Amino acid sequence: MSPQKLLFSAAACVSLLFCGQAFAESECVSAGANTACGYDCKTAGANVQCAKTPDGACIAVGAKIFCWDPPHPTHRKAQCISAGINMACGYDCKSAGANVKCANTPDGICTVKGAQINCWDPQPQAQQYRPAPPAQQYRPAAPAQQYRPAAPAQQYRPAPPPARPRPAQQPAAQSECANAGINSACGYDCKTAGINVKCAQTPAGACIAVGVNILCWDPPYRTNRKAECISAGINMACGYDCKAAGINVKCSSNPNGRCIVNGINITCSE
C-alpha cells in the first residue's frame, strides 16, 4: 500500500474513533420497477424496503417485508426474528409459538412465559432525573470586619500530600426480569412476594418485600448512589439515610439528605 493510502486510512480511523467495527453502508436495491435506498435492504418478489438508519434492520418472509429503526441512535445493530408470518425487529428478540417480540433499546430485555412475551425498556434518564439539591447546611454570618495580616514576601509551602486512592467504582446495576406465578416484571432490584412481583425502574432504585406486599422506589434526582429500604412490622420505606422508630420508618428522598429520630418521630431533610 502506498504511503498516501496509508495516511488516508489512518486519518479515516481517527475520524471514526476506532477501526475495529465494520460500519454499515447505505445501498440502493431494485426489485422489478421498484427501487429503495437505505440500510439492510430486503427484496420479496417485486417489493423492496430498506431501514432508514445504520442501526435499523429488515426481514423478509414470503412476499412481505418488515423494516424497523430504533427510536434513538444506539450504535448497535438491531436484529429481526420471525415465526410463521409474524415478524419483529429490535433487541433481545424472543419467540413463543407464533408470537414474536423485541425490545426497543439495546438495554431492554424480553422474557417468555408460556405463550406470552413481555419486553421491557429502561426509561431515558435525561427525562426522568433532575439534579439533586445539596443538603441544607448551617452557614454562620460573616464577621463585619476581619483583620488580615499582610502576606510575607516569601512563604514556605510544604509539598502537597500524595493523592488519596479513589475508591473502586461499583459495577453498574444490571436490568433483570422476574416471574411470580403468571405475573412478571422487569427493571432493577426485582422482588417477589407470593404471586406479586415488582421492580425499580432505574439503576439507583430499590425494592423491599414484607409478607405479600412489595414497595419499589426510584429517586427523583440524578444520582449514582443506590437507594436503601427499611421495614418495621408491616411498614416499609425506601430512600436515603433511612431510620426506624418503633413501627415508624422514614427515608429522605435526597441522596444528600439526613434523617433524625426524636422519640417516635422521624424527621428527614429533603
Helix then strand then coil, in percent of the chain rounded to 5, is 5, 45, 45
- What pLDDT is recorded for position 24? 74
Total domains present in the chain: 2
Q: Are residues 51 and 114 in the same domain?
A: yes
**Could you tell me the maximum CA-CA distance found in the chain, to the nearest angstrom?**
90
Identify the burial level of 200 via C-beta atoms within 10 angstroms of its C-beta, where 0-12 means exposed, 13-18 middle and 19 or more buried.
Answer: buried
Tell whether the model's pLDDT for residue 6 goes beyond 70.
Answer: no
Domain limits for position 79? 19-121
Quote the CA–CA distance of 74 and 106 in Å, as a whole number.
7
In this structure, is residue 170 part of a structural domain? no
* Percent of the chain whose predicted confidence (pLDDT) is above 90: 61
Q: Are residues 24 and 112 in the same domain?
A: yes
pLDDT in tens, 161-181: 666 665 555 566 788 999 888
Q: Are strands 221-222 and 130-131 parallel, antiparallel or unpaired?
A: parallel
Q: What is the mean pLDDT of residues 227-251?
A: 96
Q: Are residues 112 and 24 in the same domain?
A: yes
Q: Which residues of 146-156 are buried (b: 16+ CB within 10 A; e: fewer)?
A: eeeeeeeeeee
Q: Are residues 183 and 115 in the same domain?
A: no
In this structure, is residue 30 part of a structural domain? yes
Q: Are residues 100 and 182 in the same domain?
A: no
- What pLDDT is recorded for position 2? 45
Q: Are residues 41 and 112 in the same domain?
A: yes
* Helices of type H across the chain: 3-15, 125-128
In this structure, is residue 206 part of a structural domain? yes
Tell whether the model's pLDDT for residue 142 goes beyond 70.
Answer: no
In this structure, is residue 136 part of a structural domain? no
Asked if 35 and 57 count as a contact pair (C-beta separation under 8 A), the reply is no
Q: Which of 121, 146, 165 is the last residue of a domain?
A: 121
The residues near 263 (Cβ < 8 Å, ≥ 6 apart) are 245
In this structure, is residue 97 part of a structural domain? yes
In this structure, is residue 12 part of a structural domain? no
In this structure, is residue 130 part of a structural domain? no
pTM of the model: 0.60
In this structure, is residue 128 part of a structural domain? no
Lowest mean pLDDT among 23-32, 210-219, 243-252: 23-32
